Structure 1
Protein backbone atom coordinates (compact mmCIF):
# COMPACT_ATOMS: atom_id res chain seq x y z
CA UNK A 1 0.00 0.00 0.00
CA UNK A 2 1.03 3.57 -0.57
CA UNK A 3 -0.92 5.70 1.88
CA UNK A 4 -0.72 9.38 1.06
CA UNK A 5 0.92 10.46 4.27
CA UNK A 6 1.16 14.03 2.99
CA UNK A 7 -2.61 14.36 2.67
CA UNK A 8 -4.33 15.09 5.95
CA UNK A 9 -7.90 16.37 5.92
CA UNK A 10 -8.83 17.98 9.21
CA UNK A 11 -11.73 20.31 8.35
CA UNK A 12 -15.31 19.14 8.03
CA UNK A 13 -15.79 22.00 5.54
CA UNK A 14 -13.46 20.31 3.05
CA UNK A 15 -15.26 19.57 -0.24
CA UNK A 16 -14.25 15.90 -0.23
CA UNK A 17 -15.58 15.54 3.29
CA UNK A 18 -18.89 17.06 2.22
CA UNK A 19 -19.03 14.61 -0.69
CA UNK A 20 -18.33 11.61 1.55
CA UNK A 21 -20.80 12.76 4.20
CA UNK A 22 -23.50 13.18 1.54
CA UNK A 23 -23.42 9.39 1.05
CA UNK A 24 -25.24 9.06 4.36
CA UNK A 25 -28.35 10.14 2.39
CA UNK A 26 -30.05 7.69 0.01
CA UNK A 27 -30.52 10.20 -2.80
CA UNK A 28 -26.79 10.82 -3.00
CA UNK A 29 -26.01 7.09 -2.84
CA UNK A 30 -28.43 6.47 -5.69
CA UNK A 31 -27.00 9.33 -7.74
CA UNK A 32 -23.35 8.38 -7.28
CA UNK A 33 -23.66 4.59 -7.13
CA UNK A 34 -21.44 4.63 -4.04
CA UNK A 35 -21.87 4.06 -0.33
CA UNK A 36 -19.81 4.15 2.86
CA UNK A 37 -18.61 1.19 4.88
CA UNK A 38 -17.27 1.60 8.39
CA UNK A 39 -14.81 -0.32 10.52
CA UNK A 40 -11.92 -2.70 10.00
CA UNK A 41 -13.99 -5.84 9.34
CA UNK A 42 -16.19 -4.32 6.63
CA UNK A 43 -13.22 -2.74 4.87
CA UNK A 44 -11.41 -6.09 4.97
CA UNK A 45 -14.41 -7.90 3.50
CA UNK A 46 -14.85 -5.30 0.76
CA UNK A 47 -11.19 -5.52 -0.27
CA UNK A 48 -11.27 -9.32 -0.34
CA UNK A 49 -14.52 -9.40 -2.33
CA UNK A 50 -13.17 -7.57 -5.35
CA UNK A 51 -15.69 -4.72 -5.10
CA UNK A 52 -14.36 -1.33 -6.23
CA UNK A 53 -12.93 0.54 -3.23
CA UNK A 54 -12.10 4.07 -4.34
CA UNK A 55 -10.83 5.67 -1.15
CA UNK A 56 -9.98 4.49 2.37
CA UNK A 57 -9.97 7.11 5.12
CA UNK A 58 -8.35 6.44 8.49
CA UNK A 59 -8.09 8.29 11.78
CA UNK A 60 -4.74 10.08 11.77
CA UNK A 61 -4.40 9.73 15.55
CA UNK A 62 -4.85 5.95 15.49
CA UNK A 63 -3.11 5.20 12.21
CA UNK A 64 -3.80 2.37 9.78
CA UNK A 65 -5.18 -0.71 11.60
CA UNK A 66 -2.71 -3.59 11.57
CA UNK A 67 -5.28 -5.91 9.96
CA UNK A 68 -5.18 -3.75 6.83
CA UNK A 69 -1.40 -3.50 6.60
CA UNK A 70 -0.72 -7.25 6.41
CA UNK A 71 -1.06 -9.09 3.10
CA UNK A 72 -1.69 -12.50 4.77
CA UNK A 73 -4.81 -11.13 6.48
CA UNK A 74 -6.22 -9.76 3.24
CA UNK A 75 -5.15 -12.43 0.76
CA UNK A 76 -3.34 -11.57 -2.44
CA UNK A 77 -6.32 -10.06 -4.24
CA UNK A 78 -7.39 -8.06 -1.19
CA UNK A 79 -3.90 -6.71 -0.72
CA UNK A 80 -3.73 -5.66 -4.37
CA UNK A 81 -7.08 -3.90 -3.98
CA UNK A 82 -5.76 -2.13 -0.89
CA UNK A 83 -2.72 -0.93 -2.81
CA UNK A 84 -4.91 0.34 -5.64
CA UNK A 85 -7.17 2.39 -3.36
CA UNK A 86 -6.43 5.98 -2.37
CA UNK A 87 -5.56 6.28 1.33
CA UNK A 88 -6.28 9.47 3.23
CA UNK A 89 -5.67 10.55 6.81
CA UNK A 90 -8.44 12.46 8.55
CA UNK A 91 -9.17 14.10 11.87
CA UNK A 92 -11.54 12.59 14.39
CA UNK A 93 -14.08 15.31 13.51
CA UNK A 94 -14.00 14.29 9.85
CA UNK A 95 -14.38 10.62 10.76
CA UNK A 96 -17.46 11.46 12.83
CA UNK A 97 -18.96 13.69 10.12
CA UNK A 98 -18.70 11.02 7.44
CA UNK A 99 -20.01 8.10 9.49
CA UNK A 100 -22.77 9.83 11.43
CA UNK A 101 -21.75 8.16 14.68
CA UNK A 102 -20.98 9.58 18.12
CA UNK A 103 -18.02 7.23 18.42
CA UNK A 104 -16.38 7.25 14.98
CA UNK A 105 -14.67 4.11 13.70
CA UNK A 106 -10.91 4.06 13.09
CA UNK A 107 -11.45 3.69 9.35
CA UNK A 108 -14.10 3.98 6.64
CA UNK A 109 -14.13 3.49 2.89
CA UNK A 110 -16.11 4.70 -0.10
CA UNK A 111 -17.09 1.78 -2.32
CA UNK A 112 -19.17 1.26 -5.45
CA UNK A 113 -22.47 -0.55 -5.27
CA UNK A 114 -21.98 -4.10 -6.59
CA UNK A 115 -23.72 -4.97 -9.84
CA UNK A 116 -25.54 -8.31 -9.98
CA UNK A 117 -27.50 -9.77 -12.83
CA UNK A 118 -30.55 -11.89 -12.10
CA UNK A 119 -29.07 -15.21 -13.21
CA UNK A 120 -28.37 -16.22 -9.60
CA UNK A 121 -32.10 -16.13 -8.91
CA UNK A 122 -32.91 -18.98 -11.25
CA UNK A 123 -30.09 -21.44 -10.69
CA UNK A 124 -30.90 -25.13 -10.64
CA UNK A 125 -32.19 -26.07 -7.20
CA UNK A 126 -32.05 -22.43 -6.15
CA UNK A 127 -32.65 -21.23 -2.60
CA UNK A 128 -33.46 -17.52 -2.53
CA UNK A 129 -34.77 -15.30 0.27
CA UNK A 130 -37.37 -12.74 -0.83
CA UNK A 131 -38.23 -9.84 1.49
CA UNK A 132 -41.49 -7.96 1.14
CA UNK A 133 -41.63 -4.66 3.02
CA UNK A 134 -39.06 -5.54 5.72
CA UNK A 135 -38.10 -2.09 6.96
CA UNK A 136 -35.86 -2.65 9.96
CA UNK A 137 -32.15 -2.38 9.06
CA UNK A 138 -31.13 -4.82 11.77
CA UNK A 139 -33.59 -7.44 10.56
CA UNK A 140 -32.53 -7.12 6.93
CA UNK A 141 -28.86 -7.30 7.88
CA UNK A 142 -29.39 -10.37 10.02
CA UNK A 143 -31.39 -12.08 7.26
CA UNK A 144 -28.59 -11.38 4.77
CA UNK A 145 -26.11 -12.93 7.22
CA UNK A 146 -28.30 -16.01 7.65
CA UNK A 147 -28.66 -16.37 3.87
CA UNK A 148 -24.89 -16.11 3.56
CA UNK A 149 -24.38 -18.67 6.33
CA UNK A 150 -26.47 -21.36 4.60
CA UNK A 151 -25.01 -20.55 1.17
CA UNK A 152 -28.32 -19.33 -0.26
CA UNK A 153 -28.09 -18.23 -3.87
CA UNK A 154 -29.40 -14.68 -3.45
CA UNK A 155 -31.57 -12.26 -1.48
CA UNK A 156 -34.25 -10.13 -3.13
CA UNK A 157 -35.42 -6.88 -1.56
CA UNK A 158 -38.86 -5.96 -2.82
CA UNK A 159 -40.54 -2.59 -2.65
CA UNK A 160 -40.99 -1.17 0.82
CA UNK A 161 -37.80 -2.72 2.20
CA UNK A 162 -35.16 -0.61 3.88
CA UNK A 163 -32.36 0.56 1.60
CA UNK A 164 -29.60 -2.05 1.60
CA UNK A 165 -26.95 0.68 1.59
CA UNK A 166 -28.34 2.53 4.60
CA UNK A 167 -25.33 2.68 6.99
CA UNK A 168 -27.24 0.77 9.69
CA UNK A 169 -28.16 -1.99 7.24
CA UNK A 170 -24.60 -2.20 5.92
CA UNK A 171 -23.19 -2.49 9.45
CA UNK A 172 -25.69 -5.17 10.41
CA UNK A 173 -24.76 -7.39 7.45
CA UNK A 174 -21.24 -7.72 8.93
CA UNK A 175 -19.78 -8.02 5.44
CA UNK A 176 -22.21 -10.65 4.14
CA UNK A 177 -23.54 -8.20 1.55
CA UNK A 178 -20.23 -8.78 -0.28
CA UNK A 179 -20.64 -12.57 -0.31
CA UNK A 180 -23.86 -13.17 -2.27
CA UNK A 181 -26.06 -11.33 -4.77
CA UNK A 182 -28.58 -8.98 -3.17
CA UNK A 183 -31.01 -7.68 -5.75
CA UNK A 184 -33.56 -4.91 -5.38
CA UNK A 185 -36.52 -5.69 -7.60
CA UNK A 186 -40.24 -5.59 -8.25
CA UNK A 187 -41.85 -8.73 -6.84
CA UNK A 188 -44.84 -8.31 -9.15
CA UNK A 189 -42.45 -9.00 -12.03
CA UNK A 190 -40.05 -11.48 -10.43
CA UNK A 191 -42.45 -13.90 -8.71
CA UNK A 192 -44.37 -14.94 -11.86
CA UNK A 193 -41.07 -15.59 -13.66
CA UNK A 194 -39.94 -17.83 -10.80
CA UNK A 195 -43.16 -19.82 -10.92
CA UNK A 196 -42.84 -20.26 -14.69
CA UNK A 197 -39.39 -21.74 -14.09
CA UNK A 198 -40.76 -24.30 -11.65
CA UNK A 199 -39.56 -22.59 -8.49
CA UNK A 200 -41.79 -23.03 -5.43
CA UNK A 201 -42.81 -19.86 -3.60
CA UNK A 202 -43.07 -20.55 0.12
CA UNK A 203 -44.13 -18.31 2.99
CA UNK A 204 -45.26 -18.60 6.56
CA UNK A 205 -48.76 -18.52 7.98
CA UNK A 206 -50.26 -19.17 11.40
CA UNK A 207 -53.09 -20.93 9.57
CA UNK A 208 -50.79 -23.27 7.65
CA UNK A 209 -51.42 -27.00 7.99
CA UNK A 210 -47.83 -28.02 7.17
CA UNK A 211 -44.84 -27.34 9.39
CA UNK A 212 -41.55 -26.09 8.06
CA UNK A 213 -40.13 -29.54 8.88
CA UNK A 214 -42.52 -31.40 6.57
CA UNK A 215 -41.91 -29.12 3.59
CA UNK A 216 -39.43 -30.48 1.03
CA UNK A 217 -36.68 -27.85 0.97
CA UNK A 218 -34.63 -29.89 -1.50
CA UNK A 219 -36.72 -28.55 -4.39
CA UNK A 220 -36.03 -25.10 -5.93
CA UNK A 221 -37.50 -22.65 -3.43
CA UNK A 222 -37.92 -18.95 -2.90
CA UNK A 223 -38.64 -18.17 0.76
CA UNK A 224 -40.91 -15.13 1.04
CA UNK A 225 -40.89 -13.18 4.29
CA UNK A 226 -43.02 -10.12 5.04
CA UNK A 227 -42.85 -6.99 7.12
CA UNK A 228 -42.37 -7.03 10.87
CA UNK A 229 -45.90 -5.79 11.59
CA UNK A 230 -48.07 -6.95 8.69
CA UNK A 231 -46.39 -10.00 7.20
CA UNK A 232 -46.63 -10.54 3.46
CA UNK A 233 -48.70 -8.10 1.42
CA UNK A 234 -51.89 -9.50 -0.04
CA UNK A 235 -50.61 -9.44 -3.63
CA UNK A 236 -47.52 -11.41 -2.66
CA UNK A 237 -49.46 -13.81 -0.45
CA UNK A 238 -51.67 -14.74 -3.39
CA UNK A 239 -48.58 -15.89 -5.31
CA UNK A 240 -47.58 -18.50 -2.72
CA UNK A 241 -47.46 -22.17 -3.68
CA UNK A 242 -47.13 -23.29 -0.08
CA UNK A 243 -47.50 -21.85 3.42
CA UNK A 244 -45.73 -23.39 6.38
CA UNK A 245 -45.75 -22.79 10.11
CA UNK A 246 -42.86 -22.95 12.57
CA UNK A 247 -43.98 -25.10 15.53
CA UNK A 248 -43.76 -23.17 18.79
CA UNK A 249 -44.82 -25.36 21.70
CA UNK A 250 -43.72 -22.74 24.23
CA UNK A 251 -45.53 -19.64 25.40
CA UNK A 252 -44.57 -17.14 22.68
CA UNK A 253 -46.98 -16.47 19.83
CA UNK A 254 -44.56 -15.24 17.20
CA UNK A 255 -40.92 -14.83 16.21
CA UNK A 256 -39.01 -11.83 14.97
CA UNK A 257 -38.83 -11.95 11.14
CA UNK A 258 -35.05 -12.37 11.16
CA UNK A 259 -35.25 -15.23 13.67
CA UNK A 260 -38.03 -16.95 11.75
CA UNK A 261 -36.09 -16.63 8.49
CA UNK A 262 -33.02 -18.17 10.12
CA UNK A 263 -35.04 -21.13 11.43
CA UNK A 264 -36.43 -21.81 7.95
CA UNK A 265 -33.12 -21.39 6.16
CA UNK A 266 -31.29 -23.72 8.48
CA UNK A 267 -33.99 -26.35 8.09
CA UNK A 268 -33.47 -25.99 4.36
CA UNK A 269 -29.73 -26.44 4.86
CA UNK A 270 -30.29 -29.52 7.04
CA UNK A 271 -32.44 -31.22 4.43
CA UNK A 272 -30.21 -30.28 1.51
CA UNK A 273 -26.83 -31.06 3.05
CA UNK A 274 -27.27 -33.23 6.14
Structure 2
Protein backbone atom coordinates (compact mmCIF):
# COMPACT_ATOMS: atom_id res chain seq x y z
CA UNK A 1 0.00 0.00 0.00
CA UNK A 2 1.29 3.46 -0.93
CA UNK A 3 0.90 6.32 1.55
CA UNK A 4 2.06 9.89 1.98
CA UNK A 5 2.83 11.39 5.39
CA UNK A 6 3.98 14.95 6.00
CA UNK A 7 3.45 15.44 9.74
CA UNK A 8 5.86 14.41 12.48
CA UNK A 9 2.79 13.97 14.71
CA UNK A 10 1.53 11.07 12.58
CA UNK A 11 1.28 7.87 14.70
CA UNK A 12 3.49 5.90 12.28
CA UNK A 13 6.21 8.53 12.45
CA UNK A 14 5.96 8.63 16.24
CA UNK A 15 6.32 4.83 16.35
CA UNK A 16 9.39 4.94 14.10
CA UNK A 17 11.08 7.50 16.34
CA UNK A 18 10.26 5.50 19.47
CA UNK A 19 11.73 2.35 17.92
CA UNK A 20 14.92 4.25 17.09
CA UNK A 21 15.30 5.71 20.55
CA UNK A 22 13.92 3.19 23.05
CA UNK A 23 15.12 -0.38 23.61
CA UNK A 24 12.00 -0.93 25.72
CA UNK A 25 9.78 -0.11 22.73
CA UNK A 26 11.73 -2.48 20.48
CA UNK A 27 11.37 -5.32 22.99
CA UNK A 28 7.69 -4.61 23.62
CA UNK A 29 6.69 -4.54 19.95
CA UNK A 30 9.24 -6.96 18.51
CA UNK A 31 10.07 -4.35 15.88
CA UNK A 32 13.17 -2.31 15.04
CA UNK A 33 14.40 0.23 12.50
CA UNK A 34 16.85 -0.32 9.65
CA UNK A 35 18.20 2.62 7.67
CA UNK A 36 20.01 2.49 4.33
CA UNK A 37 19.60 0.50 1.11
CA UNK A 38 22.39 -2.03 1.75
CA UNK A 39 21.28 -2.75 5.31
CA UNK A 40 17.62 -3.18 4.31
CA UNK A 41 18.57 -5.45 1.41
CA UNK A 42 20.73 -7.62 3.70
CA UNK A 43 17.91 -7.88 6.25
CA UNK A 44 15.44 -8.95 3.54
CA UNK A 45 17.93 -11.48 2.14
CA UNK A 46 18.34 -12.94 5.64
CA UNK A 47 14.60 -13.54 5.89
CA UNK A 48 13.64 -10.60 8.10
CA UNK A 49 10.07 -9.46 7.59
CA UNK A 50 9.93 -5.83 6.46
CA UNK A 51 6.76 -4.21 7.83
CA UNK A 52 6.95 -0.79 6.19
CA UNK A 53 9.32 1.40 4.17
CA UNK A 54 9.64 5.16 4.56
CA UNK A 55 11.32 6.94 1.69
CA UNK A 56 12.03 10.42 0.42
CA UNK A 57 11.83 10.59 -3.37
CA UNK A 58 14.07 13.67 -3.43
CA UNK A 59 16.84 11.32 -2.25
CA UNK A 60 15.75 7.79 -3.16
CA UNK A 61 14.36 6.73 -6.52
CA UNK A 62 10.84 5.29 -6.51
CA UNK A 63 11.78 2.93 -9.34
CA UNK A 64 14.66 1.48 -7.28
CA UNK A 65 12.36 1.18 -4.28
CA UNK A 66 10.03 -1.15 -6.18
CA UNK A 67 12.90 -3.59 -6.81
CA UNK A 68 14.41 -3.45 -3.32
CA UNK A 69 11.64 -5.34 -1.49
CA UNK A 70 9.31 -7.79 -3.21
CA UNK A 71 7.19 -8.31 -0.11
CA UNK A 72 3.70 -6.71 -0.01
CA UNK A 73 4.40 -3.91 2.44
CA UNK A 74 3.39 -0.35 3.19
CA UNK A 75 5.47 2.15 1.20
CA UNK A 76 5.30 5.55 2.83
CA UNK A 77 6.56 8.65 1.08
CA UNK A 78 7.71 11.53 3.27
CA UNK A 79 8.90 15.00 2.20
CA UNK A 80 12.55 15.95 2.57
CA UNK A 81 11.94 18.25 5.55
CA UNK A 82 10.30 15.43 7.52
CA UNK A 83 12.81 12.83 6.38
CA UNK A 84 15.67 14.88 7.81
CA UNK A 85 13.92 14.75 11.20
CA UNK A 86 13.40 10.99 11.22
CA UNK A 87 16.70 9.90 9.67
CA UNK A 88 19.10 8.51 12.27
CA UNK A 89 22.25 9.01 10.22
CA UNK A 90 23.85 12.33 9.48
CA UNK A 91 24.35 11.37 5.85
CA UNK A 92 21.42 9.27 4.77
CA UNK A 93 20.23 7.34 1.73
CA UNK A 94 16.59 8.36 1.81
CA UNK A 95 15.11 5.06 2.93
CA UNK A 96 14.16 3.59 6.34
CA UNK A 97 12.39 0.33 7.20
CA UNK A 98 10.45 -0.90 10.19
CA UNK A 99 11.33 -4.57 10.52
CA UNK A 100 10.25 -7.54 12.65
CA UNK A 101 12.94 -8.82 15.02
CA UNK A 102 14.04 -12.45 15.19
CA UNK A 103 14.67 -14.58 18.25
CA UNK A 104 18.35 -15.17 18.95
CA UNK A 105 18.14 -18.11 21.32
CA UNK A 106 20.81 -20.82 21.35
CA UNK A 107 18.30 -23.49 20.35
CA UNK A 108 17.87 -21.83 16.94
CA UNK A 109 21.57 -22.29 16.06
CA UNK A 110 22.30 -24.71 13.22
CA UNK A 111 25.83 -25.63 12.16
CA UNK A 112 26.58 -26.69 8.59
CA UNK A 113 29.86 -28.35 9.56
CA UNK A 114 31.13 -30.74 12.23
CA UNK A 115 33.95 -28.33 13.14
CA UNK A 116 32.31 -24.91 13.50
CA UNK A 117 34.30 -21.79 14.33
CA UNK A 118 32.43 -19.51 16.74
CA UNK A 119 33.18 -16.13 18.25
CA UNK A 120 31.82 -15.43 21.73
CA UNK A 121 31.85 -11.94 23.27
CA UNK A 122 30.98 -11.64 26.95
CA UNK A 123 29.02 -8.57 28.06
CA UNK A 124 30.07 -6.15 25.31
CA UNK A 125 28.57 -2.72 26.03
CA UNK A 126 29.63 -0.41 23.21
CA UNK A 127 27.49 -0.74 20.07
CA UNK A 128 30.54 0.18 17.98
CA UNK A 129 32.48 -2.81 19.34
CA UNK A 130 29.58 -5.16 18.72
CA UNK A 131 29.27 -3.83 15.18
CA UNK A 132 33.00 -4.27 14.54
CA UNK A 133 32.88 -7.83 15.89
CA UNK A 134 29.99 -8.65 13.56
CA UNK A 135 31.87 -7.18 10.58
CA UNK A 136 34.89 -9.32 11.41
CA UNK A 137 32.68 -12.41 11.78
CA UNK A 138 31.16 -11.76 8.37
CA UNK A 139 34.58 -11.20 6.76
CA UNK A 140 35.79 -14.52 8.20
CA UNK A 141 32.50 -16.30 7.38
CA UNK A 142 32.22 -17.64 10.92
CA UNK A 143 29.62 -20.24 11.74
CA UNK A 144 28.10 -18.18 14.55
CA UNK A 145 28.54 -15.27 16.94
CA UNK A 146 27.32 -15.62 20.52
CA UNK A 147 26.81 -12.68 22.87
CA UNK A 148 27.02 -13.77 26.49
CA UNK A 149 25.21 -11.70 29.12
CA UNK A 150 24.31 -8.99 26.58
CA UNK A 151 24.22 -5.45 27.93
CA UNK A 152 23.23 -3.78 24.68
CA UNK A 153 20.16 -4.43 22.52
CA UNK A 154 21.26 -6.12 19.29
CA UNK A 155 18.77 -3.95 17.39
CA UNK A 156 20.20 -0.69 18.71
CA UNK A 157 20.53 1.53 15.59
CA UNK A 158 24.22 2.05 16.38
CA UNK A 159 24.85 -1.71 16.30
CA UNK A 160 23.19 -1.98 12.90
CA UNK A 161 25.01 1.07 11.57
CA UNK A 162 28.47 0.11 12.86
CA UNK A 163 28.03 -3.46 11.62
CA UNK A 164 27.05 -2.11 8.15
CA UNK A 165 24.27 -4.68 8.16
CA UNK A 166 26.41 -7.64 9.28
CA UNK A 167 23.96 -8.23 12.12
CA UNK A 168 21.86 -9.77 9.34
CA UNK A 169 24.63 -11.76 7.61
CA UNK A 170 25.78 -13.66 10.71
CA UNK A 171 24.09 -16.38 12.75
CA UNK A 172 23.81 -14.55 16.08
CA UNK A 173 22.63 -15.99 19.39
CA UNK A 174 22.48 -14.64 22.92
CA UNK A 175 22.42 -16.31 26.31
CA UNK A 176 23.92 -16.27 29.76
CA UNK A 177 27.53 -17.33 30.22
CA UNK A 178 26.29 -20.51 31.92
CA UNK A 179 23.89 -21.34 29.08
CA UNK A 180 26.56 -20.86 26.43
CA UNK A 181 29.15 -22.94 28.30
CA UNK A 182 26.57 -25.74 28.59
CA UNK A 183 25.86 -25.44 24.84
CA UNK A 184 29.59 -25.71 24.00
CA UNK A 185 30.03 -28.81 26.16
CA UNK A 186 26.92 -30.47 24.75
CA UNK A 187 28.21 -29.90 21.20
CA UNK A 188 31.84 -30.86 21.97
CA UNK A 189 33.19 -27.44 21.03
CA UNK A 190 36.60 -26.45 22.42
CA UNK A 191 36.66 -23.18 24.32
CA UNK A 192 39.65 -20.84 23.86
CA UNK A 193 39.51 -17.84 26.17
CA UNK A 194 41.52 -14.67 25.63
CA UNK A 195 43.04 -14.05 29.07
CA UNK A 196 46.28 -12.96 30.71
CA UNK A 197 46.65 -15.84 33.20
CA UNK A 198 47.82 -19.39 32.41
CA UNK A 199 47.76 -18.60 28.72
CA UNK A 200 49.41 -19.91 25.57
CA UNK A 201 50.42 -17.75 22.64
CA UNK A 202 47.40 -17.81 20.30
CA UNK A 203 49.58 -19.03 17.42
CA UNK A 204 50.54 -22.14 19.43
CA UNK A 205 46.94 -23.37 19.73
CA UNK A 206 45.26 -25.67 17.22
CA UNK A 207 41.94 -24.19 16.09
CA UNK A 208 41.17 -26.75 13.35
CA UNK A 209 38.61 -28.74 15.36
CA UNK A 210 35.29 -27.33 16.58
CA UNK A 211 36.34 -24.14 18.36
CA UNK A 212 34.90 -21.15 20.18
CA UNK A 213 37.08 -18.06 20.62
CA UNK A 214 35.93 -16.13 23.69
CA UNK A 215 36.72 -12.47 24.36
CA UNK A 216 35.72 -10.21 27.24
CA UNK A 217 35.64 -6.49 27.81
CA UNK A 218 38.84 -4.43 27.79
CA UNK A 219 38.18 -3.18 31.33
CA UNK A 220 37.36 -6.40 33.19
CA UNK A 221 38.18 -9.25 30.82
CA UNK A 222 36.32 -12.55 31.09
CA UNK A 223 34.39 -13.74 34.10
CA UNK A 224 35.80 -16.59 36.21
CA UNK A 225 33.27 -19.06 34.78
CA UNK A 226 34.90 -18.85 31.38
CA UNK A 227 38.41 -19.28 32.73
CA UNK A 228 37.34 -22.32 34.77
CA UNK A 229 35.78 -23.99 31.75
CA UNK A 230 38.33 -23.06 29.09
CA UNK A 231 39.98 -25.76 27.02
CA UNK A 232 42.92 -23.38 26.97
CA UNK A 233 43.48 -19.72 27.77
CA UNK A 234 45.18 -17.84 24.94
CA UNK A 235 47.03 -14.56 24.70
CA UNK A 236 48.19 -12.15 22.02
CA UNK A 237 51.73 -11.09 22.99
CA UNK A 238 51.89 -7.36 23.65
CA UNK A 239 55.16 -5.55 22.93
CA UNK A 240 54.23 -2.03 24.00
CA UNK A 241 53.43 -0.38 27.31
CA UNK A 242 49.84 -1.61 27.71
CA UNK A 243 48.52 -5.13 28.22
CA UNK A 244 45.28 -5.03 26.22
CA UNK A 245 43.80 -3.89 22.93
CA UNK A 246 40.35 -3.14 21.55
CA UNK A 247 38.19 -6.24 21.89
CA UNK A 248 37.14 -6.27 18.24
CA UNK A 249 40.77 -5.99 17.09
CA UNK A 250 41.87 -8.80 19.40
CA UNK A 251 39.02 -10.99 18.17
CA UNK A 252 39.97 -10.34 14.53
CA UNK A 253 43.61 -11.28 15.10
CA UNK A 254 42.72 -14.63 16.69
CA UNK A 255 39.92 -15.42 14.23
CA UNK A 256 42.12 -14.98 11.19
CA UNK A 257 44.85 -17.12 12.76
CA UNK A 258 42.19 -19.83 13.15
CA UNK A 259 41.13 -19.33 9.53
CA UNK A 260 44.78 -19.54 8.38
CA UNK A 261 45.25 -22.83 10.21
CA UNK A 262 42.08 -24.30 8.78
CA UNK A 263 43.04 -23.30 5.26
CA UNK A 264 46.45 -24.94 5.60
CA UNK A 265 45.30 -28.09 7.41
Q: TM-score, normalised by structure 2?
A: 0.88
1:158-173 matched pairs, under 5 angstroms: 158-173=148-163
Partner secondary structure for residue 33 of structure 2: strand
Structure 1 partner of 2:48: 51
| Kept after mapping to 2: 8 A contact 1:226/1:232 | yes
Asked if residue 142 in structure 1 is aligned to residue 147 in structure 2, the reply is no
Alignment of 1:174-253 (within 5 A): 174-250=164-240, 253=243
- Does the Cα contact within 8 Å between 1:131 and 1:161 map onto a contact in 2? no
Q: 1:12 to 1:177 in 2, by over 3 A?
A: same
Work out the CA distance in 2 between the residues paired with 1:118 and 1:22.
28
Q: 1:128 aligned to 2:118?
A: yes
Q: Is the 8 A contact 2:177 2:225 kept in 1?
A: no
1:87 aligned residue (72, 75, 87) = 75
**Would the aligned equivalents of 2:122 and 2:147 in 1 still touch at CA under 8 Å?**
yes
The root-mean-square deviation of aligned C-alpha atoms, in Å, is 2.3
Deviations 1:117-169 (A, max 9, x none): 43336952121111111111111011011111111111111214321100000
CA 1:235–1:98: 2 relative to 1, 3 Å: farther
Cα 1:8/1:182, change in 2 over 3 Å:
same
Residues 1:26 and 2:12 are matched in the alignment: no
Deviations 1:200-254 (A, max 9, x none): 1111122344111111111111111111311112233322221111133455532
Alpha-carbon spacing, 1:96–1:185, altered in 2? closer, same or farther (3 Å)? farther
Compared CA separation, residues 260 and 13, structure 1 to 2 (3 A): same
Which residue does 1:37 correspond to in 2? 34
| Superposed displacement of residue 90, structure 1 | 1.0
For the residues of structure 1 that align with 2:64 and 2:133, how far apart are their CA atoms? Answer: 27
Structure 2 runs not aligned, ≥5 long? none
Q: How many residues align?
A: 261
Aligned partner of 2:254 in structure 1 is 264
Moved more, 120-129 or 144-153: 120-129
Match of 2:96 in 1: 108
Query: What is the deviation of 1:264?
Result: 0.8
Q: Does 1:98 align with 2:67?
A: no
Instruction: Name the SS of the counterpart of 1:87 in structure 2.
Output: strand
Whole-Å separation in 1 of the counterparts to 2:45 and 2:186: 36
Q: Which moved more, 1:29-38 or 1:41-50?
A: 41-50
* Contact 1:225–1:261 (CA under 8 A) maintained in structure 2: yes
SS in 2 for 1:36: strand
With structure 1 as the length reference, what TM-score do the two structures score? Answer: 0.86
Distance 1:67 1:60 in 2: 10
Cα separation, partners in 2 of 1:88 and 1:164, compared to 1, 3 Å? same
CA contact (8 A) 1:44 1:68 kept: no
**Unpaired runs of at least 5, structure 1:** 72-78
CA contact (8 A) 1:62 1:106 kept: yes
